[in-house]
Amino acid sequence: MGTPFDIAYVYEYFLKLLPFIRISLLIVFGSIVVGMGVGLLVALPRLYKVPVLQRFSQVYASFFRGTPILIQLFLIYYLLPELLKLVSIDVTKVPVLIFVILAYGLHSGAYFSEGIRAAVSAVDRGQVEAAYAVGMTGYQAFTRIVFPQALAISIPILANLIIATLKDTSLAFTLGVMELTGKAQTLFTVSRHMLESYLALAIVYFILSFFLEKMFNFAERRLLKHEAPIAKEDKVPMGRKWLNRTLDPDIALSKGGAGV
Amino acid sequence: MKWDFSFIWTAFLDLLPALPTTLYITAVSVSCGFVIGLIVTLSRMYKVPVLSQIGTAYVTFVRGTPMLTHLLIVYIGLSMLLDHLSDKFGWSFNSVSIPMIGFAYIAFSITAGAYLAEVIRSGLLAVNKGQLEAAYSVGMTTFQALRRIVFPQAFAAALPNLSNSLIGMLHGSTLAFTVSVVDINAKAQIVASTNWKFPEAYLAAALLFWGLTVLIERGTALLEKRINVYNRGGVA
Amino acid sequence: MIHLKRITKSFGRNEVLKGIDLTIRKGEVVAIVGPSGSGKTTLLRCINYLEKPSDGEISIDEFSVHFKKPHKKDIHALRQKSAMVFQQYNLFRHKTALENVMEGLVVVQKIPKEEARKRSVELLEKVGLGDKLDSYPSQLSGGQQQRVGIARALALNPEVILFDEPTSALDPELVGEVLGVIRKIAKEGITMIIVTHEMAFAQDVANHVVFMEGGVIVEEGPPNVIFNVPKEERTKQFLARYTSESAYSI
């Protein structure tokens, strides 16, 4: 089981991992874009209660939230080419990275759809009524009143999802993508300093999550400047501030359970 | 390659023997994680020196890193430490003595503990401060107040999040294949490669996980209905 | 002139409005009073189509809408002819006081921004909030929020302003400032329909009082008649209960 622990390797591996942040972030970015599109498509029929489509959206969300991402990765990698073959599209030359992004995108799409629904329904009903009362059309009420408020509400949900996706990308190596985790596994083949390599890997992920979190807190403060600052005594005087924040998205975005 | 629908069923049956392993990992990690989470939360709430700081650092680090890294670090780190100690003191007990699934139990409990700490905390925070004060006002001790008034309400509030954590750990248990534990996912890999029927095998695995997840969701919904009776307000 | 004809509204099997006929003359201030659940708020919300009436007709001057099968365009037009002041204020949370008042002018009435701003500032000054233009709703007291709500309604220059219990969400000490503002604009000849529990205020500010119970108009008339010499037994009972109730409330 490897050779004695040597902290110097952690630093060395850390530096070697840095260039591969790009690949992990590329997967995150790509899948978030796909996920937002899919999420909106899936959320709309449920928001507007479109008969049949609403049911389809429900099944979609249930399946992609009800199965492990690892299984989904394999499923999409093996199943999608077969399905496309039926309509005679050959995807054997498509790089595996595309499959990975698609898999994470479809996965996060299910969560996005829930997030969108949660955010939209979190906007007070009275806001829409007031918009109608000043004479706005349904479209105006949505774009000018509901959407901006829902956006601010959904920032923590979005942050949570992006950080979760980042952590999930550590599984992309199973399909042979050379992202952070994949790289970390090649580092120790010669030196056999496995623990150092994985520690360096964890540190890289941690720093990334940390900065994403900070970034979103900043964005949230900007977007929510219209809300009165939450009274100090309401916030628990424990842990660091930004840690407290990580809590709230869990409540907003219920991963399973009945109905958000 | 041709589609073989009947193989999905065959694969499904082949996967079932691996089901207990998946359930064990999930159950152990969530139960141990709950205990860890409770200790961390209470030590942070009552500001126990050192322990609360360690708790915060632990929750922060674990939540900021992938579950896979926890498993790998625990597996390799713990094995190295054990082998080092057994060498030094001449124990016969070393890393080989621990079954592979043991490492999964330990690592996933650590993961679950951090997430559950947050779940427990949010549940406790959801209980109105006035409830505790009211409990004191009728003469309860802190322990009585927590046990009889605060915890039951906190549990009701935390139930959806608890269910999510359980589902999260169920799904996370698929990572156990990295330490050669044959859970549903690893079994699917075996079934797929021996029969050369990848889509069917993974579809079967997906259906199995889907079913388990829906089961947990339904169970939670039922439980929620029962314990939230007091929340059913009479507002017409 | 606003005519309501045979307005009915059912929630499922529960008939909340059982055929309301009401005429409101231009510049009139109408107070609708009655016990909770009498349908008065529902009636008000029907006038703005925030509640979909089951049947009936409304006409404002030459414009009229049949509620059996209303056209989308007509609903929109109806809403533009009326403005609403809500019980819970319903200010747009992400917009400042000034932006709240401007929003309808700019988006709905397509008035140039500068002009809209000028008018909005004037109105906010009129309701005594000239120093709160850039405050967000969350930074304002309930009374201040409701005054912004009134300015927002006034800005639209509607044929009629509908007030839905404008003071019942307010702390007692803030009621006065809002009633003061309503009283002030009532004198300017704007048509207003006010659903309220403040009997003294209704008596003081309204030219016409409507007493509703059980989804019908029991009695209507000038305030001195309704409050002092009501004809109907139910009106007498309500007013007696109401005055005794408020006498004991702290």
pLDDT digits (tens, 9 = 90+) for C127-182: 999 999 999 888 899 999 999 999 999 998 999 999 999 998 888 888 889 999 99
Q: What subunits touch chain B, counting only 3 or more CB pairs under 8 A?
A: A
In a domain, A260, yes or no: no
Q: Please give the pLDDT value at position C245.
A: 53
Distance (Å, whole) CA C46 – CA C79: 10
Smallest Cα distance from B126 to chain A, Å? 11
Distance (Å, whole) CA B86 – CA B90: 5
- CB-CB neighbors (< 8 A) of C139 in chain A: 228
pLDDT digits (tens, 9 = 90+) for C26-71: 999 999 999 988 999 999 999 988 888 999 999 998 888 998 888 8
Whether A199 has its CB under 8 Å from any CB of chain C: the answer is no
Taken in order B159, B164, B170, B173, is the CA torsion positive or negative? negative
In a domain, A2, yes or no: no
In a domain, B75, yes or no: yes
Gap between the terminal Cα atoms of chain B:
61
- Is a pLDDT exceeding 90 seen at residue B193? no
Whether B215 has its CB under 8 Å from any CB of chain A: the answer is no
Q: Locate the chain C residue with the closest alpha carbon to A151.
A: C94
In a domain, B138, yes or no: yes
Tell me which residue range forms the domain holding B70: 5-230
In a domain, A140, yes or no: yes
Q: 3-state class of C66 per DSSP? A: strand
Smallest Cα distance from A135 to chain C, Å? 5
Mean pLDDT by 10 residues, chain A (260 residues): 73 88 93 94 89 93 94 91 82 87 95 90 88 89 89 86 93 88 83 86 94 88 70 33 33 28
Q: How confident is residue B9, by pLDDT bands cut at 50, 70 and 90?
A: confident
pLDDT digits (tens, 9 = 90+) for B200-212: 889 999 999 999 9
pLDDT digits (tens, 9 = 90+) for B72-107: 999 999 998 988 888 888 888 888 888 999 999 999
* Residues of chain B numbered 30-89 and touching chain A (CB < 8 Å): 44-45, 47, 52, 56, 59-61, 63-70, 72-73, 76-77, 79-80, 83
Whether A149 has its CB under 8 Å from any CB of chain C: the answer is yes
Enumerate the domain spans of chain C. 2-247
Q: Please give the pLDDT value at position A228.
A: 61
CB count within 10 Å of CB C65 equals: 20
Q: Locate the chain B residue with the closest alpha carbon to A2.
A: B80
Number of domains in chain A: 1
In a domain, B235, yes or no: no
Q: B3 and A198 in contact by Cβ < 8 A?
A: no
Q: Any idea what the CATH number is for the domain that residue A100 is in?
A: 1.10.3720.10
**Candidate ranges A84-88, A131-135, B6-10, C72-76; pick with highest mean pLDDT:** A131-135
In a domain, A1, yes or no: no
Q: What subunits touch chain C, counting only 3 or more CB pairs under 8 A?
A: A
Distance (Å, whole) CA B182 – CA B174: 9
pLDDT digits (tens, 9 = 90+) for C218-228: 999 999 999 88
Number of domains in chain B: 1
In a domain, B236, yes or no: no
In a domain, B194, yes or no: yes
pLDDT digits (tens, 9 = 90+) for B134-146: 777 776 777 777 8
In a domain, A208, yes or no: yes
Q: Please give the pLDDT value at position B63.
A: 93
Reported ipTM: the value is 0.87
Q: How confident is residue B217, by pLDDT bands cut at 50, 70 and 90?
A: very high
Q: Any idea what the CATH number is for the domain that residue B221 is in?
A: 1.10.3720.10
Q: What subunits touch chain A, counting only 3 or more CB pairs under 8 A?
A: B, C
Distance (Å, whole) CA A27 – CA A20: 11
pLDDT digits (tens, 9 = 90+) for B156-178: 889 999 999 999 999 999 999 99
Tell me which residue range forms the domain holding A26: 7-255
Q: A129 and C50 in contact by Cβ < 8 A?
A: yes
Cβ-count burial of C109 within 10 angstroms (0-12 exposed, 13-18 middle, 19+ buried)?
middle
Q: Please give the pLDDT value at position A100.
A: 94
Distance (Å, whole) CA B119 – CA B220: 15
Whether A78 has its CB under 8 Å from any CB of chain B: the answer is yes
Distance (Å, whole) CA B119 – CA B203: 32
Q: What percent of chain C has pLDDT over 90?
A: 52
Q: C80 and A135 in contact by Cβ < 8 A?
A: yes
Whether A244 has its CB under 8 Å from any CB of chain B: the answer is no
Smallest Cα distance from B31 to chain A, Å? 19
Is it true that domain C2-247 has CATH number 3.40.50.300?
yes
* Residues of chain B numbered 89-128 and touching chain A (CB < 8 Å): 95, 118-119, 121-122, 125
Q: Please give the pLDDT value at position C211.
A: 94
Q: Please give the pLDDT value at position A240.
A: 29
